[in-house]
Amino acid sequence: MAYSEKVMDHFANPRNVGEIPDASGVGEVGNSKCGDIMRMYIKVEGNVITDCKFKTFGCGAAIATSSMATELIKGKTIDEALKLTNKAVMEALDGLPPVKVHCSVLAEQAIKAALSDYYTRQGIDPTPIVGVITECDHEHGCGCESCG
Ligand code: FES
Cα(103) to ligand 1 centroid in Å equals 5
In a 3-state reduction of DSSP, which class is residue 51? strand
Least Cα distance to 62 among 37, 85, 40 occurs for 37
Pocket flag, ligand 1, residue 130 (CB < 6 Å)? no
When pLDDT is averaged across residues 72-94 and rounded to a whole number, the result is 97
pTM for the predicted model, two decimal places:
0.90
pLDDT over 70 at 32, yes or no: yes
Q: What is the pLDDT of residues 85-130, one digit of tens each?
A: 999 999 999 999 988 998 999 999 999 999 999 999 999 999 999 9
Catalytic residue status for 103:
yes
